[in-house]
Amino acid sequence: MPINYSRKLTGKIRTQPANRQLGCMLAFIAGAVNAGGFLAVQHYTSHMTGIVSAMADQLALGMYSLVLVGFSALVSFLLGATLSTLMVRHSRQRNLHSEYALPLLVEAGLLLCFGLLGSQISGFNGFYVSATVMLLSFIMGLQNAVITKLSNAEIRTTHITGVITDIGIELGKLLCPDANAPDRARLRLLAMLALCFFVGGVTGALGFKHLGYSATVPLAVTLMALSIIPIADDLLDYLRQRGRRR
């Protein structure tokens, strides 16, 4: 990946085209992780609305172990979003280039661990399901928070309920001549996010079916490639400042 392109996508200086390109890439990754995770443990890990609804049903039916799995997913998603926000704030206070790249690098590392170690722990059924749900939910919370912050809440990538709702709103404006003019650029973005999530889901499901857990390794490598340049910029700045002090 060209250095300047990587810096543009995940660096601290943001542009709307860069936000939208990164959003589409992350929507693809979220779709792949969500679908692959479902094949691994029969649980979706990014759809908190569905998880909370399922918890309510399971509680009413006395399926308390499944309620705990859902609750662990909810808490993990929350913790991932919290950590992402703390990392961004920490980086901003120190004027780092990598305020958005660092959470993505953490996500890449966790996905890499899942891809390399998933098959080794899959034999521990009870522990494996809970740990996988928590890990993937944490990753989704981490990712959703960073794209939300860098795009000023214009883009979210780990679920498409809001995306489909917004598409419907823009289509309503388009079909109603008396309504406000539709935002065609936003409509295209929303359609691309939904499409990327879907294509990512198909890719993730096929990848897990044919490659198993290692299907997440290319996703991790992609995230590393996206995030490494701003982090390298910070490291070079640190080394220069340290050299001047000597």
Amino acid 241 reads Q
Q: Output the six-digit token pair for 42.
A: 């029969």
Mean pLDDT score, 16-29: 93
| Low-confidence winner among 12-21, 128-137, 138-147, 205-214 (lowest mean pLDDT) | 128-137
Counting Cα atoms < 13 Å in the Cβ hemisphere of 19 gives 19
The answer, yes or no, to whether residue 40 has pLDDT greater than 80, is: no
Domain ranges of the chain: 15-245
Greater pLDDT, 179 or 113 = 113
Under the banding of pLDDT at 50, 70 and 90, the label for residue 127 is low
**If you search the block for the tokens 């780092």, which residue do you land on?**
96
Domain 15-245 grouped into CATH 1.10.3470: no
Dihedral over alpha carbons 10, 193, 45, 204 (to 10 degrees): -90
pLDDT at 126: 61
Q: How far apart are CA 139 and CA 77, in angstroms?
A: 7
Taking residues 56-64, report their average pLDDT.
89
Pick the more confident residue, 131 or 135: 135
Average pLDDT for the chain: 86
Q: What's the pLDDT tens digit per position in 216-241?
A: 999 999 999 999 999 999 999 888 88
Residue 179 has what pLDDT?
64
Report the interhelical angle of 101-121 vs 216-245 (nearest 10°): 130
pLDDT tens readout for residues 146-203 = 999 888 888 888 888 888 998 998 888 888 766 677 788 888 999 999 999 999 999 9
pLDDT, residue 125, reads: 61
pLDDT over threshold 80, residue 245: no
Say which amino acid occupies 100. Y
Q: Tell me the range of 4-8, 47-51, 90-94 where mean pLDDT is highest.
A: 90-94
